[in-house]
Every structure is written in C-alpha cells, then in structure tokens.
Amino acid sequence: MGFELKQLWSAPEINPYNKKAKSIPIFNPVDKYGRVFFFSWMGFFIAFWSWYAFPPLLTLTIKKDLHLSQVETSNSNIIALTATLIVRLISGPMCDKFGPRLTFASLLILGAIPSVLAGTIKNAAGLYCIRFFVGILGGTFVPCQVWTTGFFDRNIVGTANALVGGWGNSGGGITYFAMPALFDSLVHNSGLTPHVAWRVSFVVPFILITVTAIAMLFLTEDTPTGRWADRQSAVPHDTHTATIVSTTGGLADKPSSASVSSTDEKKVGVSPAELETGAGDVTIIDEVQHEVIQAPTFKEAMNVILSMQTLTLCAGYVFSFGAELAINSILGAYYLKNFKTLGQTMSGRWAAMFGLLNVVSRPFGGFFGDCLYKWTKGNLWAKKIWIHFVGIVAGAFLIIIGQLDPHNLGTMIGLVAIMAMFMEAGNGANFALVPHVHPHANGIVSGLIGASGNFGGVIFAIIFRYNGKNYSRVFWIIGVIAIALNLAFIWVRPLPRGQIGGR
C-alpha cells in the first residue's frame, strides 16, 4: 500500500488478521490508533523532559547552590542513568504481563513524585537520591515502543516506533530551552532568588507528567481489540491458538478479506528466504500463531536474551542511545567550556539542538529502514546493514570532533549536528528491526535493548567522569567504541535461522 497524504488524518486501513493499522493517523486524535500514537510520543516526551531537567541547570545554578564538585555532578548523571537501566529491564516483562498502557502510566506517576520533590534537595546525597528515582521516567521508552508495536502493522511499524521514539527523545532538547527559561522567568519576573527559583521550576514537569498519565488512562486502550484481558481476540481462533496470550509483530500485506479458509492455513514448499522474512507462501495464520506473545519459561526467556540477534541489537543501542544520553548530559557544559561568553542559558540552547534533532533524525532512521524493507521485498539484511552504516558514520564524526575539539562555534555546531543526525537515526533504525526479532517476546526484547542503551549511557558517563572537563577526548573514545561494536556484529543474521513469524 503506497503512501497517500490523507492517511495522516484518515482512519487507517486495518489488517483483518491482527487488527493493526497499516498507516499512521498522526493528525487524527479521534481514531483509537491516532490516540495511541499521540500518547506514546507525548508521554515519552514529557518523561524525557523531566528526566533531563537537571543537566541544563546543573552546569552553573544547581552546582553553585549545592556546592557541588565536578565529580559529584558527574556522579549524579551516572546515577540517573543507572536507575533507568534497572527500570527498563523490569518494564519489559511488565508490559507482557499487565500491558504497555498501564505500565506506561504507572511509570509516569511514579516518576512524577520525585520530580516535585526536587525542591527538597540540600546536598549531593539528596541530589543523588532524587535523580535516581526521577530516572524511573526513562523507563517509559519500553512501553512506548511495545504499545506502538501492538497497534501498527509490519509495513509501517518501523516508522511508527521511530516517530514516537524520536519525538519523545526531543524532550531532551526542549528541556535545555524550557528549564533555563523557567528559571530566568522566576528570577527576573517573579523576584525569586536563584536558590528558590530552580526548585520551583521542577513543579512544571510534575504537573505535565501527572496530567498526561491520567489522560492516558482514560482516553486510550490497551490493544486494538480493547482490554488487555481480551487481547487474544486480536487473532483468528482455532484449535491451534488456545495458548495465545497477545499479539505483537506484524503481518505481510494481504487482500482485505475478513476470513481465511482452513485449507489455506498450511502451505508447503517454503524457501529459507521465506522462512527468514515471513514472506512468500508463508501463510497468515501460521504467522499469527508464531508471533503471539507467550508467557515464557525461564529457559525460553534466556534463549531470547542470549540469541545473537538480540545481542546484536543491544550492541547497536549501547552506542546509539547510550552515547546520546551521555552526551546530552554534558553537551551544555562542553559548549560553555569552549565558548565561555555563551553563559548557562545560551550554551543550553545550543546544546538543545542535539536533542531536538530527534524530531527528524530518529524517525528518518526508522522510515528509511521500512523503505529498504519494502524496496528489497522483505529482505531484513537491508534493515540490519542500515543500522551498522549509520553507527559507523556517527562514530567517525565523533572521532573528528574529538580530534579537532573545535573552538569555532560554527564548526562545533555543524559537526555536532551531522554526528547527531546519524547517531539518532541509529536509534530509529534499531527499533525498525526489533519488531521482527523474537516478536513472541517483544516486551522482553524491547526492555533488554532499551536497558542496553542505558547501560551504554552509564559506561560513557563514567568515561566522562574520569576525564573531567576533557570532553573532546571522550568524544573520540566513544567514536572508536561505536565503530568497533558495529563491525563486531555486522556478520550476524538479522533473524535466527529457520524463524517463521515469531519463532
């Protein structure tokens, strides 16, 4: 099905076999698919804003008010990322058990509480504690991706995941504008002292998070067929589907027939390529039955976790999202170091560009991955090579920035922008392939890969910590790691050998 402009606001065509949408009604909040799309990116956007609300003010204001050292500032960044790593690991299985919508809303509410308590911080220990629990908000990425994967079909799921992830990630850029602006307004227009103003500013993200979570609970649904308890109704029923728990993954485009005869359920003569891609003569019913989420045993879960395909996606995300998180925490400080005349507010605004580029770069990564999938007639190697390509190019630009350590503002901004485009495209490219790999365990896979991004963020933040203000050195170190990780896994098949549908 080709793209038509009206698909942006019209109710989407629905795949009759799994009830997933074949297009994204971005501007149609009345349609249930449009509402899920909206709250997926908006929930993650607000969460990311609050999760990264500290770095824009930590460079000068909070650091001075709490008498923090450079090491204590770096420690707080590491702690915030560590908390999110733990929550992402937990939230994957939670999505499989309780559904992504309830998991999403629960994490938002839990993360809102420490956000409003930011005003109680009095020293480094208090900062560590609050930032750890605010890190819960970073875990919302997992239900965000699982939710959209459950509502959008294979032909568009990469784009959908990349759009909600990219627009959500842009909250990390908005916060560099919003938090200094709030702070400045409270100081200059409301007459508050800096000591009070930065604390009061954290009330705003608390309100936004709470409102978003409540609206999500009342205005959206768990699955295309309604309640999470009724999720099995999304697929055709027969004697072979009695153990179905829920659907994730997608189906190849087929004629819009409401039913499938039992004689068409099984076909023979499937080629290895068809087994790998789920294309050709592989039947719709077989794919549905193989792609449903099961309640996995420990052994089955470990098989998914330790498969080379899962580890490959984890390695890619360790760099792409991990480096993004670590760089986002220090970029304002890096600009201020090389361009002292900018001050806290202006250095924060230039640093915001890095996060704001997610609005286009991450969606492009997923969209182009979907295009490659279509152009190559379902060849997942195309999606996989795309992941490695953008990762290696981003690594090369990190090395260039690290070696040059630019002191010309235009040069610095240009190099960071190009690097960010490729790095953030890698995030979208990664989650364009995720729905195809072990879709019967989509929550586990999404949670593990999401957590691996935070693991990378922690590792890179630690490297920044031990290099003090020598930010350029860390940039080229991360670049070398990026290229090494991508080359190390480039040989791995996109899907396990013999996989049909989900297994």
Higher pLDDT, 162 or 405: 405
Q: pLDDT tens, 339-397?
A: 998 887 888 889 888 988 988 998 999 889 989 988 998 889 999 999 999 999 999 99
- DSSP assignment, residue 18? T
Q: How many CB atoms lie within 10 A of CB 225?
A: 17
Tokens of 352: 């915001």
Average pLDDT (42-56) is 91
Quick one: average pLDDT of 457-470? 92
Using pLDDT thresholds of 50, 70 and 90, give the confidence band for residue 316.
Answer: very high
Q: Is 156 helix (H, G, I), strand (E, B) or coil?
A: coil
Q: Residues 233-290: pLDDT tens digits?
A: 655 555 443 333 343 333 333 333 333 333 333 343 444 444 444 444 344 544 544 4
Query: What is the spatial distance between Cα 7 and Cα 26, in angstroms, rounded to a whole number?
Result: 8
Tokens at residue 158, please?
């990469």
* Distances in whole angstroms, Cα of residue 160 to Cα of each of 74, 145, 358, 435: 34, 9, 14, 11
Which of these ranges, 376-385, 395-404, 473-482, has the smallest mean pLDDT? 376-385
Q: What angle do CA 303, 305, 308 make, to 5 degrees?
A: 85
Average pLDDT of the segment spanning 119-129: 94
Give tens-digit pLDDT for 291-311. 545 556 677 778 888 889 999
- Over 80: is that where the pLDDT of 403 sits? yes
| Mean pLDDT to the nearest integer, 445-456 | 89
User: 420 Cβ partners below 8 Å, 6+ apart?
Assistant: 324, 353, 354, 357, 361
Q: How many CA atoms lie within 13 A of 180 on its CB side?
A: 22
In this predicted structure, what is the pLDDT of residue 276?
42
Q: How confident is the model at residue 77 (pLDDT cuts 50, 70, 90)?
A: confident
pLDDT(499) > 70: no
Residue pair 114/138 in contact by the 8 Å Cβ criterion = no
**pTM for this prediction:** 0.76
More confident residue, 192 or 236: 192
Residue 37 and residue 221 in contact, taking contact as beta carbons nearer than 8 Å: no
Tracing tokens 């050998």 back to the chain, one arrives at 497
Mean pLDDT of 65-73: 91
Domain at 29-225+302-488, CATH class:
mainly alpha
Dist. CA 153–CA 101, nearest whole Å: 18
What pLDDT is stored for residue 40 in this prediction? Answer: 95
Q: Mean pLDDT over residues 38-64, rounded?
A: 91
pLDDT score at 328: 87
DSSP 314-351: HHHHHHHHHHHHHHHHHHHHHHHHH-GGGHHHHHHHHH
Single out the residue of 314, 339, 360, 359 nearest to residue 406, CA to CA.
339
Closest CA to 494 of 18, 241, 158: 158
pLDDT interval class at 32 (50, 70, 90): very high
Classify 34 in phi/psi space as left (phi over 0), alpha (psi -120 to 50) or beta: alpha
Quick one: pLDDT at residue 478?
A: 97
Reported confidence tier of residue 313, pLDDT bands at 50, 70, 90: very high
